[in-house]
Structure 1
Amino acid sequence: MIETDFLVIGSGIAGLSYALKVAQHYPEKKVLIITKTRIDETNTKYAQGGIAGVTDFEHDSYEKHIQDTLVAGDGLCNPRTVEIVVTEGPARIREIIDWGTRFDKDSEGDFKLGKEGGHSEFRILHHKDVTGKEIERALLETVGKQKNIQIIKHWFVLDLITQHHLGYLVTKSTPDIECYGVYALDQQTNKIVKILSRITLLATGGNGQAYRTTTNPKIATGDGVAMVYRAKGRIENMEFIQFHPTALYEPGVSPSFLITEAVRGDGGILRNSKEEAFMERYDQRKDLAPRDIVARAIDSEMKREGTEHVWLDCHHMDNAKFIEHFPNIYAKCKSIGVDVATQMIPVAPAAHYSCGGIKVDEWGRTSINNLYACGECSSTGLHGANRLASNSLLEALVFSHRCFLDGIARVDSVAFKENVPDWNAEGTTEPAEMILITQSGKELQSVMSDYVGIVRTHVRLQRAMKRLDLLHEEIESLYETTAVSPQLCEVRNLITVGYLIVKEAAFRKESRGLHYNTDYPKKSVILQNIVL
């Protein structure tokens, strides 16, 4: 058994910035970070474009950023949350700069600000085309200097510990569900350890691996969302899965390499197989329309012409500046035989970001006491039906700070729970055939990609639900009889996430933001956030 004052699950921008703050505020208290793989293998590391924030008040304003966010969210943003994130964001950005994050500057020492789809002004701070990796580096270096932070790698968190594990019946109607910690699998010893904590933060990232084609790394399996749902916590807006319009098209390659929206912000133009610049037919903002519109436009062009990708044309751009701003994109394209100076880049949409997740209030508190969530696994109300580009890193910083403020005010009033039982693995055996697990994962990805993608229909959603019911039944049978493994638990979590996406998509009988159902092409003035 392990006891810790603050337990952080996940080591991306949300988890690390939170852990750093609570450790610095309470140097005498224990802070434990758990990650299921390497400490730097997070969704944060793969964020290319940058972080949005108002820093140039001569040309930009909070009001403009707020309005851009609300427009992108298509009527489902929480206005109070949007105001909080936009106005508190610049202070949080200054903190990570103080911790060593290096954003690109011009010759005069001013930040080079980028512009992406849906933004009315240049406000994106970036570090070339590896902004997330640079933020992760700076945070890890600073966290490493804190003596009261312990990092445990290659541990897989299985479940949240609540009253359920003490023998009580817990349902969604149960008042005051409490989190006492987690059960975690030490992947090196195969031992399951009970970790008790006063305060627990979920910063577990997204769920892109529910889809066959995604920009997310292999670790993005919706673990936090699935755990909270099993613990009878509240989940919302899972139907709003953002497909990034421009992932590099490489058949059979997963995860897909992201071609950041900043390329279009710098002048890249989308063209179809006839080399026509088609975005003007879909939106007056052309290539810089919000992501939901651009992704649907690309999907429409591909289906109309029977192609598997469109083209991103950059050959008219200054090649030296392209290489300076996007060195990794340039090198990646070069590695597959594409010279961006003379050739167009093949791109297609890929699952990229979950706008919904664990429902939290404005302090990051979940519906389960002493449990917080921030980053992509959470649903704060910022993104609504569609996330504005580069708002995700900003949201993670603002809400990790708010979780920190609320957590330090509560931690001394929370006692460790006694008499929590050890994990019960009685009656389970080693899996006879791993194919039963891996094939279930492939089937899930096929169902989600074919039936619950960019464009949906009532019939597709019905089919998806029937197939997910069967997958759920099969994987639960395995889970009850088989010794737990990361592979089994990840597939189980993904099936749960898939169910939530389909269930909430079926409830939303309208088309709004990232949820486009051809049976209900118009928006509704009645439907708001759907909570399960």
Structure 2
Amino acid sequence: MHTQHQYDVLIIGSGAAGLTLALRLPVPVRVAVLSKGPVQEGNTWYAQGGISAVLDQRDSIESHVQDTMDAGAGLCDPDVVRFTVESGPEAVQWLVDMGVAFTREHSSPENGFHLTREGGHQHRRIIHAADATGKAVETSLIEAVRARDNIDLFEQHIAVDLITAERIGEASNRCLGAYVLDRSSGRVEVFRAKCVTLATGGASKVYLYTSNPDTSTGDGIAMAWRAGCRVANMEFNQFHPTCLYHPQAKSFLITEAVRGEGGKLLLPDGKPFMQRFDTRCELAPRDIVARAIDHEMKRLGIDHVLLDISHKSAKFIHKHFPTVQQRCLELGIDITREPIPVVPAAHYTCGGIPTDMKGHSDVENLYVVGESACTGLHGANRMASNSLLECLVFATSAAADIEARLANHPMPPELPEWDESKVTDSDEEVVVSHNWDELRRFMWDYVGIVRTDKRLERALRRVATLQLEIEEYYGNFRVTNDLLELRNLVQVAELIIRSAQMRKESRGLHYTLDYPKPDDQHPPRDTILAPQKASREPGHNVAVGKVEQLQIAPRQGRA
């Protein structure tokens, strides 16, 4: 028997949400942070744009609230939006105090911060560190975490599944810890904790083309679903309008701020086209811009459009977009002289595990923060740069709630070890790689920017076949990182498809040719899926989540 890890708080995920939560907890609290790769390998590190907050006297809380509500297409929770926006300035100040080097006007410490503007915002309210804000934020947070004696950081550790009391024979469904694969040793270890937090990010890797790193495989959403949590609004997958189109430029995002600072979208013949789709042109919300690009690509049979910022001075471009400029130069594109070839790509999961404003999920002692959560902030479409803001605000509120609860939470008892008595090493890894490719391709083709009932039906049939193959494989062979990610992705794919099938309208990020307009006859409602009770699997101490209940519910259906 291996020694079981024991902590007050277990945080699964090491991006802005997870590290902020760890740092907001007081020093006496013993915290474990799991990172399934190197600590910086996540969406936060690659976030270019910035953090939206009301930091200018010409801006207002009311304006930020209204912009967020407008982008969310009727599905934002007004109380959550206001709470988030009002908490924004303090969250940004905390990062400043942590040493994050945000860009200032005229590069002088005596000057205020430079604020940029992005799609959907009426004002300049995006504080940023050039065009590498996520890297600056994550670097400061990692340094602070490494300096704290009460926080242990476990890199190369991927969670397999949550351990709940129900799964070990108790009546209550509370979270006790997690089974975790140490990728270095190949051994599955037990982590038990008074409170567990999922901060694992989104699931955009379910699509063939994505701006996200390889780690964005919906792990937290899938694990929470199998543990008994509902999921909400999974049909709302945001496609970023502008990813660099180049065979060597995997997942490289062209920040929204390029358009915010005057970048123009052009057809191959140099003609602009956004004015035909929205009066806000390039500054329309992302769903409108992504659909416009997708429409033009299909109409003309082209594989990309162009984004041109070359009318700005070379000095301006180098100051504001050094990361974009450098990466494009490496690929032979001089953005000071020529436009950038771009395509839409899956970028953000607006749905997730329903939580309240303190991060509570449906399972006791299980919190969810960041992109894995569905807080009610984003509604049917996330507004640009509200994502890092959400991570900071809800990690802070969850930390305060966890701190208040810890004194009354006993440490879980010794938990059952991971059972490998009925499994062997795989001799057919090709099954995993083949299923991975098939899943991502048909999700792109059938459940992408534009959907139809027929496409969704086809996708669901293929998901069902893959699920059978993957569960059989999972039940017979020792787990690997690729297998765990594939298992989670196929579960999330099913949730996305079923959610999309339920929404008989087009709203926000969900656009279907069969129902091209919003349903204005009824109040906007969330899509809620509920799992069946957990069940044992042969050879493993985990459960499979199956869809039991599907409903369109009003916003108060959240936890």
Place the TM-score, normalised by the shorter chain, in its bin: over 0.9
Alpha-carbon distance, 1:419 to partner: 4.9
1:12 aligned onto 2:15:
yes
1-side partners of 2:412 and 2:196: how far apart? 13
Alpha-carbon distance, 1:252 to partner: 6.8
Which residues of 2 match residues 303-452 of structure 1 at below 5 A? 303-452=298-447
1:529 aligned onto 2:526:
yes
The amino acid across from 1:157 in the alignment is A
The amino acid across from 2:10 in the alignment is L
2-side partners of 1:113 and 1:412: how far apart? 42
Three-state SS of the structure 1 residue aligned to 2:294 is: helix
Corresponding residue of 2:103: 104
Which residues of 2 match residues 108-187 of structure 1 at below 5 A? 108-167=110-169, 177-187=173-183
Q: 2:280 aligns with which of 270, 285, 302?
A: 285
1:446-470 deviations in whole A, cap 9, x for unaligned? 1110000000000000000000000
1:165 touches 1:420 (CA, 8 Å); kept in 2? no
1-side partners of 2:463 and 2:237: how far apart? 18
Gaps of 5+ in 1: 170-175
1:97-131 deviations in whole A, cap 9, x for unaligned? 10111110013511100000000000100101100
The amino acid across from 1:529 in the alignment is D
Gaps of 5+ in 2: 530-559
Three-state SS of the structure 2 residue aligned to 1:476 is: helix
Corresponding residue of 2:42: 42
Alpha-carbon distance, 1:420 to partner: 2.3
2:205 touches 2:216 (CA, 8 Å); kept in 1? yes
1:140-173 deviations in whole A, cap 9, x for unaligned? 111121111111111111000012431368xxxx
1:474 aligned onto 2:502:
no
Three-state SS of the structure 2 residue aligned to 1:160 is: strand
* Structure 1 residues 495 and 253: alpha-carbon distance in aligned structure 2, compared to 1, 3 A threshold: farther
Corresponding residue of 1:173: none
Three-state SS of the structure 2 residue aligned to 1:69 is: helix
1-side partners of 2:401 and 2:29: how far apart? 16
1-side partners of 2:247 and 2:309: how far apart? 22
Corresponding residue of 1:190: 186
1:487 aligned onto 2:482:
yes
Three-state SS of the structure 1 residue aligned to 2:73 is: coil
1:366 touches 1:372 (CA, 8 Å); kept in 2? yes
Corresponding residue of 1:21: 24
2-side partners of 1:531 and 1:405: how far apart? 28
2-side partners of 1:421 and 1:331: how far apart? 51
2-side partners of 1:438 and 1:531: how far apart? 31
1:165 touches 1:421 (CA, 8 Å); kept in 2? no
* Structure 1 residues 202 and 125: alpha-carbon distance in aligned structure 2, compared to 1, 3 A threshold: same
1-side partners of 2:248 and 2:435: how far apart? 18
The amino acid across from 2:420 in the alignment is A
Corresponding residue of 1:233: 229
1-side partners of 2:206 and 2:29: how far apart? 37
1:241 touches 1:514 (CA, 8 Å); kept in 2? yes
2-side partners of 1:437 and 1:252: how far apart? 24
1:245 aligned onto 2:241:
yes
Alpha-carbon distance, 1:253 to partner: 4.8
Three-state SS of the structure 2 residue aligned to 1:71 is: helix
1:321-376 deviations in whole A, cap 9, x for unaligned? 11111011111111111111221110000000000111101111011100101111
Alpha-carbon distance, 1:411 to partner: 1.0
1:199-225 deviations in whole A, cap 9, x for unaligned? 111100111110111010011111000
The amino acid across from 1:332 in the alignment is R
Three-state SS of the structure 2 residue aligned to 1:517 is: coil
Q: 1:274 aligns with which of 269, 273, 278?
A: 269
1-side partners of 2:322 and 2:337: how far apart? 16
Alpha-carbon distance, 1:416 to partner: 2.1
2-side partners of 1:82 and 1:414: how far apart? 31
Three-state SS of the structure 2 residue aligned to 1:102 is: coil
Corresponding residue of 2:73: 74
Alpha-carbon distance, 1:285 to partner: 0.2
2-side partners of 1:341 and 1:91: how far apart? 37
2:53 touches 2:125 (CA, 8 Å); kept in 1? yes
1-side partners of 2:184 and 2:104: how far apart? 44
Range with greater deviation from structure 2 (521-530 or 368-377): 521-530
The amino acid across from 2:86 in the alignment is T
1:215 aligned onto 2:211:
yes
The amino acid across from 1:435 in the alignment is V
Superposed CA RMSD: 1.1
Corresponding residue of 2:448: 453
Corresponding residue of 2:539: none
1:255-312 deviations in whole A, cap 9, x for unaligned? x210001001111000112221100000000000000000000000000000010000
2-side partners of 1:472 and 1:168: how far apart? 29
1:510 aligned onto 2:505:
yes
Three-state SS of the structure 2 residue aligned to 1:182 is: strand
1-side partners of 2:310 and 2:90: how far apart? 38
Alpha-carbon distance, 1:531 to partner: 1.1
The amino acid across from 1:61 in the alignment is S
What is the number of residues matched between the two proteins?
A: 521
Alpha-carbon distance, 1:405 to partner: 1.0
1-side partners of 2:80 and 2:519: how far apart? 22
2-side partners of 1:301 and 1:223: how far apart? 34
Alpha-carbon distance, 1:248 to partner: 0.3
Three-state SS of the structure 2 residue aligned to 1:479 is: helix
2:235 touches 2:496 (CA, 8 Å); kept in 1? yes
1-side partners of 2:311 and 2:430: how far apart? 49
2:166 touches 2:174 (CA, 8 Å); kept in 1? no
